[in-house]
Structure 1
Amino acid sequence: MIARKATSGVACMELHVGPLFDRISHVNPELDHSLCARYPQIFSDRDAPKRLCAMGRGFEVGDGWYPLIDLLCRALQRETGCRGAPQVMACQVKEKLGSLRFRVRHASERQHAMITFAEAVSTRVCDVCGVAAWPGHATDATGAPRCRQHGDPGRIG
């Protein structure tokens, strides 16, 4: 439900997600901490208030995508350190429509290409365990890719 609220004479939008937000999967706390510790510049907004920054909600993906996100961040940070590319800052990391969404600020064209590639790869990786999953095989109700073990055998694509 969307409600309008006036603040200082300016109309603002507030989204009330209710119980839907409770069903969003998140990387377990140890993996969350590991990513933030390894890439503090990329995830500098991780502890920002949830109402101000989507990254404050954490990594809204399953544990199976941790290696993919780790590899992406390593490549993004190497691009900054070795090639002088801008320092990428993550705004949001989530699953949407069966693929990774890695939203950033301050990325070069090459860094955006890396992100696009990782998002495409995510559609073929089980978001629970990280093994191969195929689009149209067995997914969960949200469309996240799943392997044979974690998918719903009665659900196709």
Structure 2
Amino acid sequence: MTDRDNSIDAEVMDIMKRYPRLFRTGSSTKSRGPMHDGFLCDPGWYPLLDRLFGDIDAICREDDLTGIKVSQVKQKLGGLRVYVQGGNDRVNDRIRQAEAEAAATCEGCGGSSPGIRSIGGYVTNVCDPCLNKRKKELLDR
């Protein structure tokens, strides 16, 4: 995963702004809550997350869910983790589908991934080219 500073990636901010019912974008960049840093994963998963949040937004409208909030999005032990407050079974099922899709998707570039790998003790889910790129970045440090 890339190093993060105190600002949210522009692409992440665009996704968050598309789904205001799920993200409290007015305070997300100022508060120190879990969403303060945006999505704690690399950009290969951003399109998958955009589709997920679009589907969750539609579920909220269909099921009249109010008060739903995405509390955290991150990569943990090579897998995607999405945590929400105020969802229902349909939302949880859709999150599980996205997490399964991410297991076969490179976190770095969004292509196919053979699965979870370890790079210098860091567990990630990347394809061969992204793995080689990350190894090189580690050696260059």
Say yes or no: TM over 0.5.
yes
What TM-score comes out, normalization by structure 1 length?
0.72
Q: In 2, distance between residues paired with 1:26 and 1:133? A: 29
Q: In 2, distance between residues paired with 1:65 and 1:27? A: 19
Q: In 2, distance between residues paired with 1:120 and 1:26? A: 29
Residue 70 of structure 1: aligned partner: 50
Residue 15 of structure 1: aligned partner: none
Please, which runs of 5 or more residues in structure 1 have no aligned partner? 1-21
Q: Which structure is larger by alpha-carbon Rg, 1 or 2?
A: 1
Q: In 2, distance between residues paired with 1:68 and 1:26? A: 24
Is 1:55 aligned with 2:35? yes
Q: In 1, distance between residues paired with 2:123 and 2:103? A: 10
Q: Where is the helix percentage greater, Structure 1 or Structure 2?
A: 2
Q: In 1, distance between residues paired with 2:11 and 2:3? A: 19
What TM-score comes out, normalization by structure 2 length?
0.79
Higher relative contact order (CA 8 A, sep 6+): 2
Is 1:43 aligned with 2:43? no
- 1:21-51 Cα shifts (integer Å, max 9, x gaps): x84699972211211110112111623521x
Say which SS state the counterpart of residue 16 (structure 2) adopts: helix
Residue 4 of structure 1: aligned partner: none
* Inter-CA distance 88–33: structure 2 relative to 1 (3 Å threshold): same
* Inter-CA distance 144–28: structure 2 relative to 1 (3 Å threshold): farther
- 1:109-143 Cα shifts (integer Å, max 9, x gaps): 1110111111121111111110010125x554422
Counterpart residue identity of residue 128, structure 1: G
Q: 2:109 aligns with which of 110, 118, 129?
A: 129
* Inter-CA distance 27–76: structure 2 relative to 1 (3 Å threshold): farther
Residue 124 of structure 2: aligned partner: 144
Residue 99 of structure 1: aligned partner: 79
Residue identity over aligned pairs, in percent, reads 25
Please, which runs of 5 or more residues in structure 2 have no aligned partner? 136-141
Q: Say which is worse superposed, 122-131 or 40-49, in terms of deviation.
A: 40-49
Asked if the contact 1:77/1:87 (under 8 Å) is kept, the reply is no
